[in-house]
Structure 1
Amino acid sequence: MTELLLYALLGAGLAVLAGVAKGSMRRWVIGAGLASLVVFAAFPFSRARGFLSRDTVDPTLLALMPTFPLLALIPVGVLVALVLARRGGKAAGLGGALGGVLVMVAAAGWYAQPVQMVRLFPVEGLMELILALGVAGSIALLTFGRPRQRGPLLLGAVVAGVLTFMWFHAPQGGGAYLPKSLGYYKLLFPTAPTTQQEIADAYNRALPELNAIRKELGQDALKPIQSLADLQGAIPQQASSEGYRLVQPATTQYGAFAVFFLAGLMLGAGLMQLRNARLQEPDDWRAGILIALVVSFLIPAFDATEFDLNKLVVGWPFLQQFADKAWPPLLADSSAERYPLQEVLSQIAVTVQMALVGTFLAAIFATPLSFLAARNVTSGSPLMRSVFYLTRLFLNVLRGVPTLIIALILVAAVGLGPFAGVMAIAIHSMTELGKLYSEAIENADKGPVEALESTGASGVNVVRWAILPQVLPLFVSYTIYNFEINFRSSLVLGLVGAGGIGYFINEKMASGQYDQMIVGVIAIVIVVNIIDFASSWLRSRLV
């Protein structure tokens, strides 16, 4: 609980700093309030254990509300804050302060609850509805800027949404491919004390058999329990299979930290708004919505990536050991016939050549594709418009596949070595350059094109004399910049066996020869800077 209060203080401190800098406080109240509603409905808050680890459920605040109705104060407090925020001034400050206090009181009240048994109630159809709304909303977004097509597109959005829901909800439809999504969202309802005692008694009856198994495994015997609060691990298998779970309020998930941080932010912003009612701007609602969106995506991302600075503290001894072994670099050891510097120079040369050949091939094939992917060049006939859409689709699909994946496939097909790396760079760079080239062609000045067309010049001559002279300097600039990117990409490709200096670094790192590996790292830094300065100078002369 102390750690959660520190997060609340952190949020309040951020609001105070923004207020001291004369930033708008109302937008922080709005953003924190809207983000709190997202956290309330979607972010895991506590943990409910079953018999096995896969039976564990991480309920949200909304899912916990049937068990602890006081949690309803959270959306109520947020709605009060948002309503008063529309009035602005001190009313907005009062709403933020009141909302922040209500959110913290309700969330803290949950942590004061004892361990208790609940029963799961899956909400059927919810995930299917969310997916259907996502599909319908994506199609509806196409109506912006197309007023004449708004009616058909909205009708298509509704039809697509309904079909998506029906297909996903069907037994042989989407549920067959994503079975965990069906009934994914679960509400937690309280159980009667008699039910909890029956489960505790059933646990005690099964304890002798369980202890016999634990004894064979060399584990300590478990003692009988008086209540569910005495359980140290999983609940009985029978109770778990019937949908019962043991909720432990003290087990915090990332949603708990988010709730207290946002509550502190709302409270701090509200108090600063009360102190100075002029800390608001006309576009606070738009900015608040943006803040809520950023927070809603950023907080789960931190949890999914297991972001934890404590791991750096734990791993610090290895970093020290690495630094001790890596310095000074070993350039050569004639007694052992080891010459790392010579090998590094050779592999760096291969890496540069991989990037050079890959970029050259990409530019050669991207040039004709870029004209086919340019809207202004292919708008003459229905056939050419079809070619335009097919070319754009080809470039978009292939560009979505990372270079590393392409390299892995090619290494499996053609074997280890730089050839796989060259082809991976060429394929991916072709799509990137094709996209950049086509945009340059579309932005070309129409004056020379119209002048040549008025003289009766053919399409090829128009491209050659009106478009190409305009876009050629940009083509060169994009190609040089892409070469810089490809050099960095080729370093990573070496880690999967596609040759170059990356392969050397991976080999030395795996064998613990850090003093040789660091030679490759230093060489990479030097060459990257040389290529960067050289390409900048070259672009300044050509563009």
Structure 2
Amino acid sequence: MSLGLFLAGLLLAGLLGLGQGSVRRYQVAAGLGLLVASAAFPLAQAVGYLSREALGPTLLALLPFAPYLALVPLGGLLALGFAPLGGRVAGLGGAVGGGLGLLSLLAFLQGPAHLVRLKPLPGLMEGFAGLALFLTLALLAYQDRRRAWLWLPLGGALGLAGFLWLSSPAGHTYFPRMEGYYKLVLPAEPGAERRLVERFNQGLEALNQARREIGLPPLKPVESLAGLGEGRLPQEVSQEGYRLLRPQAPGYGAAALLLFLGVLTGSGLWLLRSPSLQEAGDLRAGLVLAGVALSVFPAFDATEFDLGKLVKGWPFLVNFLHRAWPPNLAQPESGLYPLQSVASEMLLTVEIALVGTLLAALFALPTSFLAARNLTFRSPLLRPLFYLVRAFYNVDRGIDTLILALVLVAAVGLGPFAGVLAMAIHSLADLGKLYSEAIENVDRGPIEALESVGASGSNVLRWAILPQVLPLFVSYTLYRFEINFRVSIVLGLVGAGGIGFFIKGAMDAGHYDQMVIGILAIVLVVNLIDFASSWLRSRLV
């Protein structure tokens, strides 16, 4: 598996090189990725007695235990150091750095489990948070160099204040996991494992007696802590600060490192073969690519992405399809008419979307003129309104329609009214922002022509601005209606009425042959609305 990930990265670099574009940028991205992943991504598992005692140490945290792992980040540094030289020299740095890193990483991942000690590094994460505050203000100083004299000292003060507060007892009260979060992995003292194994075996009889009383199978004596059947340490061993490091249970950091090493090696080999595959902006492009790639690995891990779960759940999907087909359109003997219910609820869903979109458009139209910079910034009286309306749009757009529906259902009760209100409130901000941006991009020629002959503001608005923006307003409103129809289906799941409410009820009752009617109706109506909206836009815009 480990070698397969490396080969996947190697293959990816090979395919990218076939495009005859620059491959040096991929070498830079892989080198940067190795450095960040070595410091921030969990490489292996270190388990204790309880599941909450488990942790995933990074490669840098494992260096006191396995110093040879330093070849991985050193390989990235070697590739980055040679990359500016370009040509075959850069390729040599990538190929050698990737090869050395691969050998050291495979040697670790294929090793046995080990007893290790943990040593927290106090203040490290607090310092990183303070540094992040400073760098944020430093970036503002770089963008606004005229006020750099303000941003840099302010960033330094905020960074220091943040570090001191987070390191204080008050900071640890609000962020308890930050205290000693980063831990170094040290080898256990000589003879520690033998001593702990003997203690475990001596207390095994009493432990097994307790396990039998609660219906658990007895444990057998072990020769090493790595041989424990349940893969975790005894409680007394864990309480002494020991952990069982399991290299063959890798974290997502191992996958990231192996893929980066594969891309690094492959890019280096390409540059050795074709040294002209490089461009002037490779360093900056590589930085962007590295940022994108580094954000993907933690996201996949946080979402517990696992295709194996889909394979295991396949029998449920087959059973669902078997119970859902053919659809139960009507059951007169039981007084059930699902098709009629679906038609009624679908009509209600369309009406929710229609009323919600209409209300949003009615309120968004006048407020969008106040949110247009080109109409308000020339007047000291209107400029505060611009900031006020734009702030309202930003806050409103940040609150999802589903959250608004949950609050409004609690306020006004179950039913479509809550869905209409939630949809209108959220859509107001979306439409207002789109309308205001359309107003800001109007052609200044007609406006200046009317102003030159002394036309009033209302006439300028009527004859110069509205003819330019109304077609866009119509297009945006129709598009928002399409979105709101899909949103109204989800709102039904939380009690706001419509077809979503019908589907949830059928699903909860296990009536899959009725639920599938709602799904087919959604597919049909979505396509009808899409075609109708496209036809209207072609006629009106």
Q: Do both proteins adopt the same fold according to a TM-score greater than 0.5, normalized to the shorter chain?
A: yes
Q: State the shift of 1:335 in Å.
A: 3.0
- Which stretch shifts more, 16-25 or 49-58? 16-25
Structure 1 match to 2:239: 241
Q: Check conservation: 2:2, 2:106, Cα contact below 8 A.
A: no
The answer as to 2:175 corresponding to 1:217 is no
Deviation per CA, 1:103-148, whole angstroms, max 9, x where unpaired? 1111112134332222212222222222223333333333455332
Provide closer, same or farther for how the CA distance between residues 479 and 112 of structure 1 changes in structure 2, counting only shifts above 3 A. Answer: closer
Q: State the shift of 1:382 in Å.
A: 4.3
Q: Which amino acid aligns with 1:37?
A: L
Q: Matches of 1:459 and 1:154 in 2, distance apart?
A: 44
Q: Secondary structure of the residue that 2:191 maps to in structure 1?
A: helix
- Which stretch shifts more, 50-59 or 9-18? 9-18
Q: Which amino acid aligns with 1:251?
A: A
Matches within 5 A, 1:480-519: 480-519=478-517
Provide closer, same or farther for how the CA distance between residues 142 and 444 of structure 1 changes in structure 2, counting only shifts above 3 A. Answer: farther
Structure 1 match to 2:9: 11
Q: Which amino acid aligns with 2:353?
A: A
Matches within 5 A, 1:12-161: 12-143=10-141, 145-161=143-159
Provide closer, same or farther for how the CA distance between residues 162 and 383 of structure 1 changes in structure 2, counting only shifts above 3 A. Answer: farther
Q: Matches of 1:391 and 1:159 in 2, distance apart?
A: 32
Q: Matches of 2:471 and 2:105 in 1, distance apart?
A: 60
Q: Secondary structure of the residue that 2:215 maps to in structure 1?
A: coil
Identity over aligned residues, as a percent?
56
Q: Matches of 2:427 and 2:142 in 1, distance apart?
A: 32
Q: Secondary structure of the residue that 1:121 maps to in structure 2?
A: strand
Structure 1 match to 2:253: 255
Q: State the shift of 1:207 in Å.
A: 2.9
Structure 1 match to 2:402: 404
Q: State the shift of 1:456 in Å.
A: 5.1
- Which stretch shifts more, 294-303 or 61-70? 294-303
Matches within 5 A, 1:170-249: 170-173=168-171, 175-232=172-229, 233-249=231-247
Provide closer, same or farther for how the CA distance between residues 154 and 445 of structure 1 changes in structure 2, counting only shifts above 3 A. Answer: farther
Counterpart pick for 2:347 among 344, 349, 361: 349
Q: Matches of 1:242 and 1:532 in 2, distance apart?
A: 64
TM-score (norm 1): 0.94
Deviation per CA, 1:296-333, whole angstroms, max 9, x where unpaired? 01111112112122222222222222222222223223
Q: Matches of 1:76 and 1:326 in 2, distance apart?
A: 57
Q: Secondary structure of the residue that 2:169 maps to in structure 1?
A: coil
Q: Matches of 2:332 and 2:393 in 1, distance apart?
A: 51
Structure 1 match to 2:264: 266
Q: Matches of 1:390 and 1:485 in 2, distance apart?
A: 26
Q: Matches of 1:299 and 1:474 in 2, distance apart?
A: 39
Q: Check conservation: 2:75, 2:98, Cα contact below 8 A.
A: yes
Q: Which amino acid aligns with 1:105?
A: L
Structure 1 match to 2:289: 291
Matches within 5 A, 1:379-458: 379-455=377-453
Q: Secondary structure of the residue that 1:399 maps to in structure 2?
A: helix
Q: Matches of 1:439 and 1:150 in 2, distance apart?
A: 30
The answer as to 2:371 corresponding to 1:373 is yes
Deviation per CA, 1:75-118, whole angstroms, max 9, x where unpaired? 11111111222212111221121111111111112134332222
Deviation per CA, 1:262-312, whole angstroms, max 9, x where unpaired? 212222222222222222222222222222111101111112112122222
TM-score (norm 2): 0.95
Q: Matches of 1:525 and 1:343 in 2, distance apart?
A: 16
- Which stretch shifts more, 163-172 or 180-189? 163-172
Q: Check conservation: 1:202, 1:236, Cα contact below 8 A.
A: no
Q: State the shift of 1:452 in Å.
A: 4.2
Structure 1 residue ranges (4+ consecutive) displaced by more than 6 angstroms after TM superposition: none
Q: Which amino acid aligns with 1:55?
A: E
**Unaligned ranges ≥5, structure 1:** none
Provide closer, same or farther for how the CA distance between residues 234 and 311 of structure 1 changes in structure 2, counting only shifts above 3 A. Answer: closer
Q: Which amino acid aligns with 1:412?
A: A
Aligned Cα root-mean-square deviation (Å):
2.0
Deviation per CA, 1:360-418, whole angstroms, max 9, x where unpaired? 11111112221222222221344432222222112111211111111111112211111
Q: Matches of 2:4 and 2:233 in 1, distance apart?
A: 33
Q: Check conservation: 2:115, 2:242, Cα contact below 8 A.
A: yes
Q: Which amino acid aligns with 1:440?
A: A
Q: Secondary structure of the residue that 1:329 maps to in structure 2?
A: coil
